[in-house]
Homo-oligomer: A and B are copies of this chain.
Amino acid sequence: MHSFTEENYLKAIYALTQKSDGEINTNAIAERVSTKAASVTDMLKKLAEKQLINYQKYQGVTLTEAGKKTALNIVRRHRLWEVFLVDKLGFGWHEVHTLAEELEHIKSDELIDKLEAFLGNPQVDPHGDPIPDHAGKMMHSSADKLSESAMNQAVVMTGVLEHSSAFLQYLEKIGLTLNTEITVQEANEFDQSLFISINAQPGLFISHEVAKNILVSAKE
């Protein structure tokens, strides 16, 4: 069994790997787990010892198969708890991350499997991120950024690339939530801001910064 702290490091390494394939460096991990580089080095030795990461001094880090499996399991737990918090307890999608960070460390496969069944075997969490199964497999969505979406073509919002509470609250306020139907009606060449319509209602402007953090898929 891995400690609370070890799990957090693995999760951080996994998340960083997603963003930037290749080796992950010490400072990036330190920032993610809110600690100092020196502490990270200590933990990397420990994780390497346990065969969870490939680590050579000064050479950066990659997850081993075992490490990846563990990380995906944590992600699985995290996302299932998020679904529970939003769907069952009525939390907003911007409020659940911190709570799920605690809940994810409760280790019982039986608990998680029962939770999954209770939630109706959801494929994605409240932010549209896919939920890994036991084996670590998860849905691969073929989503595009709204900022790259074609004009006058109805698409459906399926995810976000930015998970900050501020961003999520803003989206909710202007009516951009998962499964919303969006049509880009105009793109401003100067700043790439978009004029869009939501669910066929009066449109609104969003900045490029916002548009590039929204994922959409073709309406099926």
Chain A interface residues toward B at CB < 8 A: 85, 88-91, 99, 102-103, 106, 108, 111, 114-115, 118
Tell whether, in the assembled complex, residue A111 and residue B99 are in contact, meaning their CB atoms are under 8 Å apart: yes
- Point out the residues of chain B lying under 8 angstroms from A85, CB to CB: 111
Tell whether, in the assembled complex, residue A106 and residue B108 are in contact, meaning their CB atoms are under 8 Å apart: no
Partner of A103, one of B89, B91, B106, B114: B106
Chain A contact residues: over half helix, strand or loop, or mixed? helix
Tell whether, in the assembled complex, residue B91 and residue A114 are in contact, meaning their CB atoms are under 8 Å apart: yes
**Shortest Cβ gap from A92 to chain B (Å):** 11
Distance in angstroms between the alpha carbons of A108 and B99 in the assembled complex: 8
Tell whether, in the assembled complex, residue B89 and residue A118 are in contact, meaning their CB atoms are under 8 Å apart: yes
Cβ-closest chain B residue relative to A105 = B102
Tell whether, in the assembled complex, residue B99 and residue A106 are in contact, meaning their CB atoms are under 8 Å apart: yes
Tell whether, in the assembled complex, residue A89 and residue B106 are in contact, meaning their CB atoms are under 8 Å apart: no
Cβ-closest chain B residue relative to A116 = B89
- Point out the residues of chain B lying under 8 angstroms from A88, CB to CB: 118
- Point out the residues of chain B lying under 8 angstroms from A103, CB to CB: 103, 106
Distance in angstroms between the alpha carbons of A75 and B90 in the assembled complex: 24
Cβ-closest chain B residue relative to A95 = B110
Tell whether, in the assembled complex, residue B106 and residue A102 are in contact, meaning their CB atoms are under 8 Å apart: yes
Tell whether, in the assembled complex, residue B114 and residue A90 are in contact, meaning their CB atoms are under 8 Å apart: yes
- Point out the residues of chain B lying under 8 angstroms from A115, CB to CB: 89
Distance in angstroms between the alpha carbons of A176 and B75 in the assembled complex: 40
Cβ-closest chain B residue relative to A4 = B4
- Point out the residues of chain B lying under 8 angstroms from A114, CB to CB: 89-91
Distance in angstroms between the alpha carbons of A111 and B106 in the assembled complex: 16
Distance in angstroms between the alpha carbons of A175 and B50 in the assembled complex: 47
10 additional contacts (CB under 8 A) given A89-B111, A90-B118: A85-B111, A88-B118, A89-B115, A90-B114, A91-B114, A99-B106, A99-B108, A99-B111, A102-B106, A103-B103
**Shortest Cβ gap from A62 to chain B (Å):** 31
List 7 tightest A-B contacts by C-beta distance, closest first.
A89-B114, A102-B106, A89-B118, A88-B118, A99-B111, A99-B108, A90-B114
